[in-house]
Structures are given as C-alpha cells and as structure tokens.
Amino acid sequence: MKMNNQMENAENSVLHTYNRFPVVFEHGEGCYLYDSEGKEYLDFAAGIAVNSLGYHYPGYDDALKTQIDKLMHISNLYYNEPIIEAGTKVVEKSRMSKVFFTNSGTEAIEGALKSAKKYAYKKAGHAGFEIIAMNHSFHGRSIGALSVTGTAHYREPFEPLMGGVKFAEFNDLDSVKALVNENTCAIITETVQGEGGIYPATKEFLEGLRALCDEKDIILIFDEIQCGMGRTGEYFAWQAYGVQPDIMTCAKALGCGVPVGAFVLNEKAAKASLEPGDHGTTYGGNPFVCAAVSKVFDIYEQDQIIDHVRELTPYLEEKLDAMVEKFDCVAARRGKGFMQGLVITGRPVGEVVKKALAEGLLVISAGKDVLRMVPPLVIEKEHVDKMAEILEKCLA
C-alpha cells in the first residue's frame, strides 16, 4: 500500500521519461537493497554499474562526511585538495596524461568530442571535421553525445544533431576504414558495448583502430563509462587489450554513487587540444565528488577489489554457462568480468527481469534480448549462488 501511494505521487510530479519498475527503494546495505515496505533484494544491477562498492562500504561514507564538513564546493577558478588527489590517482591508474572531471558520463563524452575537434582544428586551421561512431553504441543523451549514439530511434526526434557523424559496425575494422577520409578527426567506441547488449570488442578490432588512428593522426576515443573502474578485471577494459586510446571517458563507478565523470587524455591529445577558455564546468570536479573518487581508488588498492573481480569471474561465468546449458530460453552468455549478459530467446527479456524483481533479485536488460548483470564488485560466492538460485526459478 505504502509503495503504491509513493509511486502515484512520483508520477504526479516527476516527468515520465522512464517506465520505472514498481518498487521504491529506501536503503541499501552491502549487496542488498530494501524497499520502503521492508522487502530485501539482491542487487546485481548496482544502479547500472555505479555502486561498485555496494552500499556503505567501510570508510566510504566517512570520507564523504569528512569532506562535507570541510568544503562541498568551490569554483574551478581555484585549486582544491581533493581534485589534486583524485586527478593524480586517475592519471596514475590509467597511465594517461591529464584528466578533466565532469558531472556525468554524457558530459565526459562532450568533452572528449570537443577535445578531438580542437585537436584537428589546431592542426589544420579550419573546422568541419567528421567523427566515426559505432552502430548499437550508447554514449549519452545530450545533443553531442546523442549524435554519436548508434541507435536511430534515440536520435531521430532530435535531429538535426551534430553534423559529420558516420556509423560503422562494431568489431568490423573494414567498415570503419570505408568511412575514413581526410576530414575524420575522431573514432569513438565503447571498449565493451553495454546498452547495446554486452559485446566486448575483439583484440583485432581495437588494435586495428589504434593502427589506423596512428597512421592518419586521428584521435581514438574509448568510452569506459560502463566497463571501466575494475568491472572487467582491469581498472580500464582497454588495459587487457594492450591498446591505449588517445582519450578515454569514465563515469558511473568512478565515484561509486556521487555524480562524477571524467575524460582523460594522453600526452598527445592533452598537449594540442583544449586550452584555457575552451571548456569549463561549475560543479565538475568539486571537492565533494573528488573526495569520493579519491577514496574509491584508495579502497580499490587497499582491499584489492580488482583482484577479487578476477578471482570470482570464473565462478560467476560457470554459473551463467550452466544456465545456457540448462534452459532453452537462454541462448548464450557474453561478457567480461562482472559485466555479463545472457541472451534470452522465446520470451521477452523484460518479463524475466520483472519476475526476478518480484523474487528479490535486481538485474537489468540491454539491447533487445539481453539480460544484463553488472553487480557490485564486492559480491562473494554466496551472492552468486543466491542470484543463480533465484534466476533459475525465474527461467524455469
């Protein structure tokens, strides 16, 4: 009853841009969430790959509270202590050169695109450069990020968008090569496509893109917003491929719950793109969010969060592969680390997701037919077992 009233109130005021699941969450603890009527849910969605440390991870809340008591916000006209710490850690772990903090993933994409355009502008002395993006990609909802998002029905109502964007096929190097010309300034791709249905890039594709971009002096952008921050068993998914982008975007788990994103540039891109006056943000990289980012990196290091992902991945994959074997409606598994998808056939994936919710398990969908799991990185075997038990019940 309580939740029904709350949901009705929500629909009376909050713009209906989401068909929300019928649940009002009230608090979380570890890898579990609780709704406002007290029901418990095992969380294999993590706020869409955000809450990598689950809820109330030891030390995290205290670091934020301490920063609130010191300073929440100060303009980027001044230095602050947390941005220095957070920036140092991002650069160190990515082995890239410079970082710009944003408020979201979408804004990180905007910054990456602007950097690439400015790089080409400086080099050639004129504007009007083109960008190649991938079909079935997702990069965000602003006009710029939407322009490089490879789903036509997301883009169509808002056209004309940013000009000069062409779409190639993910994991098909020839389709990219066919679109490159002397005006191409950037190629942008997710390292592991998330919203599109959990498709990891192939090594040949990323290596091929790197060689192509080196040959033609094109800026290579990897979107690590969903697959980054340890989810695939490396800080950033590209690190497992040994292929470094010129610019990487990051967000979601970067602050494990505070609104923060970043675009990170290698030396080449940092030296010859954005300059004072080219880009800015009021909130981006403020002391509060940067205290969170800094603490997240400390926790990852101290508690070897990424080693844990690597260690537990085979167990998770084994359980999911068993479902592929056991159920006709599960056609395949795809993914890397704790970013996994099951291809559901013969019934709508949304039905399975709803059933799981009713049974106390949060999972989400991706693409047309993929059941997506992006759990907190701190799940243990017992959580995997419980997930499998509930999901098998839903699939039966």
In this structure, which amino acid lies at residue 74?
I
Task: Tell me how far, at minimum, the Cβ of 390 lies from ligand PLP, in Å.
Answer: 25
The residue from 54, 111, 140, 376 that contacts ligand PLP (CB under 6 A) is: 140
Sign of CA dihedral 304, 306, 310, 316: positive
Q: Between 147 and 226, whose beta carbon lies closer to ligand PLP?
A: 226
Q: Between 226 and 340, whose beta carbon lies closer to ligand PLP?
A: 226
- According to the binding rule CB under 6 A, does residue 106 interact with ligand PLP? yes
DSSP state of 243: -
Q: Between 259 and 386, whose beta carbon lies closer to ligand PLP?
A: 259
Map residue 133 onto helix, strand or coil. Answer: strand
Size of the site for ligand PLP (CB under 6 A): 16
Task: Tell me how far, at minimum, the Cβ of 347 lies from ligand PLP, in Å.
Answer: 26
- According to the binding rule CB under 6 A, does residue 223 interact with ligand PLP? yes
Where b means 16+ CB within 10 Å and e means fewer, 349-374 reads beebbebbbeeebbbbbbbebbbbbb
- According to the binding rule CB under 6 A, does residue 376 interact with ligand PLP? no
- According to the binding rule CB under 6 A, does residue 250 interact with ligand PLP? no
Where b means 16+ CB within 10 Å and e means fewer, 184-197 reads bbbbbbbbbbbbbb
The Cα-based distances of 189 to 33, 44, 150, 341, 395 in angstroms read: 33, 25, 10, 19, 33
Residue 91 burial (C-beta neighbours within 10 Å; 0-12, 13-18, 19+): middle
- According to the binding rule CB under 6 A, does residue 104 interact with ligand PLP? yes
Helix count and strand count (H, E) for the chain: 15, 17
- According to the binding rule CB under 6 A, does residue 105 interact with ligand PLP? yes
Sign of CA dihedral 183, 269, 198, 202: positive
Q: Which range, of 179-187, 218-226, 240-248, 301-309, touches ligand PLP by CB under 6 A?
A: 218-226
Q: Which range, of 89-97, 102-110, 361-369, 386-394, touches ligand PLP by CB under 6 A?
A: 102-110
- According to the binding rule CB under 6 A, does residue 229 interact with ligand PLP? no
- According to the binding rule CB under 6 A, does residue 98 interact with ligand PLP? no
Q: Between 146 and 312, whose beta carbon lies closer to ligand PLP?
A: 146
Nearest to 384 by CA among 308, 297, 307: 308
Q: Between 12 and 282, whose beta carbon lies closer to ligand PLP?
A: 282
Map residue 31 onto helix, strand or coil. Answer: coil
Binding map of ligand PLP across residues 297-336, x = CB under 6 A, - = no contact: ----------------------------------------
Task: Tell me how far, at minimum, the Cβ of 226 lies from ligand PLP, in Å.
Answer: 3
Task: Tell me how far, at minimum, the Cβ of 12 lies from ligand PLP, in Å.
Answer: 25
Q: Between 237 and 394, whose beta carbon lies closer to ligand PLP?
A: 237
The residue from 251, 289, 293, 316 that contacts ligand PLP (CB under 6 A) is: 251
Binding map of ligand PLP across residues 258-277, x = CB under 6 A, - = no contact: ---x----------------
Task: Tell me how far, at minimum, the Cβ of 44 lies from ligand PLP, in Å.
Answer: 16
Q: Between 140 and 150, whose beta carbon lies closer to ligand PLP?
A: 140
Where b means 16+ CB within 10 Å and e means fewer, 10-31 reads eeeeeeeeeeeeebbbeebebb
User: Do residues 155 and 149 touch, judged by C-beta distance below 8 A?
Assistant: yes
Q: What tokens were used for 313?
A: 């991945």
Q: Give the whole-angstrom CA distance, residue 343 versus residue 370.
A: 5
The neighbouring-strand residues paired with 58 are none
The residue from 89, 98, 136, 139 that contacts ligand PLP (CB under 6 A) is: 139
Start-to-end CA distance of the chain, whole Å, equals 30
- Which residues make up the interface to ligand PLP (CB under 6 A)? 104-106, 109, 138-140, 190, 194-195, 223, 225-226, 251-252, 261
